[in-house]
Structure 1
Amino acid sequence: MELPNSAEKHLGRAIAALASDRFEHALFEWLHRCFEIDNTTMLAYFQNRVPEIMFTHAIERKVHEKLFSDYVPGAYLLDPFHALHVENAPPGLYRLKDIAPDQFQRNEYYAAYYQRTTLVDEMAYVAYPAEGVSVQICLGRDKSSGQRFSARDVQKAERIAPIVCGLIEQQWSGLQSTGDYRNEDLAGHLITALEQEHGIALSPRQAEVALLILRGHSSVSIGLRLGISPQTVKVFRKQLYRRCGISSQAELFSLLIPLLSIPDTV
């Protein structure tokens, strides 16, 4: 396999750095020599606690500006890449445009958080070094280059995916997670928090629909996931908005995102 720009040498350094605090940077240096990367985020998702950030690098400061203040406390629960963890997706490479819900770029999470990062393209390696733990190496293009990953970039990234996933499994095998994550539990938490904070009582189905709306699913997509018709979804949406005293997704986001920003939400 041809790897450009002395990538083999940097792969060797990454392997040599396993089990040391030099590994994350060595891994980044290798990947950066395989194809152009504007930013990198290495993080672990768990079943019952907020993500752990292991490494970040970006040319554009806005990429990680809200990472610890907004994303880690709760916004991660709306991220398509976190959904890969929840769904226990097979190890490998995933590109955001292939996994995002059908109305992701029209939802409030995208407008309020993701768009502010200036990211124009993103892909991530996903692997499972321990039970209940997924580690993702997220690679992005942002306004510093303004360019999406090319077909050749993606092809190279896919070719080295087994190597990256193998390194992840070795480096972070000591991470631990207990309990289980279920969207039903998150919906239950939301129901309780909304009642306590605002005196608003939602049904379990209304809470499920609310979360799917915030993640960027259309009525058709929500219906497919919940096994109900799009028209029934629209009825639940109207009931939800009326119950909350709101009239837009932006208001729904503003109402609910603080309630997801509670440590150990599930």
Structure 2
Amino acid sequence: MTLTLQDIAWHRSVGQLIETLDQPHFWLRLVRLLEHYVEFDSWVALLFSNGRPEVFAACPGEDGGPDPLFEDYLKGLYLLDPFYIASREAPATGLQQLAFVAPECFEQTDYYQHYFRLNVVADEIQYNVQLDAERTLCLSLGSRIRYSVTQLAMLDLVQPWVSALMRQRLHFETITAQAVPAPKWQDRLEQAVERLETPLTARELEVGRMMLSGCSSKEIARKLAISSETVRVHRKHIYSKLNIKSQSELFALFLRGQG
């Protein structure tokens, strides 16, 4: 067997990482190792569950402190995150790409325009480790430019190593999110429109959530097993009941309900 210097460096670095599994700087060491092979601009290690995301480590904001946009994400915008939604609808271990989890109209959403393109900028991949039916450990890497086929292949090649390290690291993390259940996204809209004489139905709330996440009428129809015409009727009722005329106004109502 012939090993290259790059192979030897990788195995040496992984061995060193194993030695730091119980140390505070583990996540930073892991992303710095990945940076030797693939360039990215932001990162965060977090746990998705039925509660608020639990953040274990993240790159700091431009001033060295917490990123204000990421604080908004944790308050409730994560409920519109394609990766979060995928972790609830189809949980799985492996490397996920934005292109495969984002809805058809994702780039047209207010979430994309006012958060994603400002915070993540262009592209995102995520290492997922499915822990059980409700919890997914994630390492997300954001980039200002699209990941190339070669970069994605490299990230996928090292996925077994990264996932194994992430799973072992969890033993040394303090998890508190389970004790703080987060309101469902529908609850946030309900909080914003609770004084309406004609509140939205459960189905209308679900259609509204899918609209805000970037699903087209056809995608909503397919996921809910209804016709596209029925989706249009639900949208009309949502706008009429909330006295709004656009999806941007619906997004504004969602933001008002954030805790």
SS of the counterpart of 1:202? Answer: coil
Counterpart of 1:115?
Answer: 117
Identity of aligned residues (%): 27
Counterpart of 1:258?
Answer: 256
Match of 2:47 among 44, 48, 55: 44
Residue correspondence of structure 1 range 127-166 to structure 2 within 5 A: 127-129=129-131, 132-142=134-144, 147-166=145-164
Q: Is the 8 A contact 1:214 1:253 kept in 2?
A: yes
**1:27-80 CA distance string (max 9 Å, x none):** 112111122222211111122x21122222279679944101x10010000000
Indicate yes or no: 2:10 matched with 1:7: yes
Match of 1:20 among 20, 23, 26: 23
For residues 105 and 188 of structure 1, do their structure 2 counterparts lie closer, same or farther at Cα, with a shift above 3 Å needed?
closer
For residues 19 and 75 of structure 1, do their structure 2 counterparts lie closer, same or farther at Cα, with a shift above 3 Å needed?
same
Q: Give, in whole Å, the separation in 2 of the partners of 1:12 and 1:256.
A: 46
Displacement after TM superposition at 1:199 (Å): 5.3
Match of 1:93 among 92, 95, 105: 95
Counterpart of 2:34?
Answer: 31
The TM-score normalised by the length of structure 2 is 0.87
Q: Give, in whole Å, the separation in 1 of the partners of 2:230 and 2:170.
A: 44
Structure 2: runs of 5+ lacking an equivalent: none
**1:208-260 CA distance string (max 9 Å, x none):** 1111111110111000011001111001000100100000010000012221x
SS of the counterpart of 2:254? Answer: helix
Counterpart of 1:221?
Answer: 219
Residue correspondence of structure 1 range 177-188 to structure 2 within 5 A: 178=178, 186=184
For residues 9 and 202 of structure 1, do their structure 2 counterparts lie closer, same or farther at Cα, with a shift above 3 Å needed?
same
The TM-score normalised by the length of structure 1 is 0.84
Q: Give, in whole Å, the separation in 2 of the partners of 1:4 and 1:140.
A: 25
Q: Is the 8 A contact 1:7 1:34 kept in 2?
A: no
Displacement after TM superposition at 1:132 (Å): 2.8
Q: Give, in whole Å, the separation in 2 of the partners of 1:191 and 1:250.
A: 14
For residues 187 and 118 of structure 1, do their structure 2 counterparts lie closer, same or farther at Cα, with a shift above 3 Å needed?
closer
In structure 1, give the amino acid aligned to 2:161: I
Q: Give, in whole Å, the separation in 2 of the partners of 1:148 and 1:77.
A: 24
Q: Give, in whole Å, the separation in 2 of the partners of 1:66 and 1:176.
A: 22
For residues 197 and 21 of structure 1, do their structure 2 counterparts lie closer, same or farther at Cα, with a shift above 3 Å needed?
farther
For residues 194 and 200 of structure 1, do their structure 2 counterparts lie closer, same or farther at Cα, with a shift above 3 Å needed?
farther
Moved more, 187-196 or 151-160: 187-196
Aligned CA-pair RMSD: 2.8
Indicate yes or no: 2:126 matched with 1:124: yes
Q: Give, in whole Å, the separation in 2 of the partners of 1:138 and 1:42.
A: 6
- Name the count of aligned residue pairs: 252
- The runs of at least 4 consecutive aligned structure 1 residues that moved more than 6 Å come to 58-63
In structure 2, give the amino acid aligned to 1:102: E
Q: Give, in whole Å, the separation in 2 of the partners of 1:250 and 1:195.
A: 16
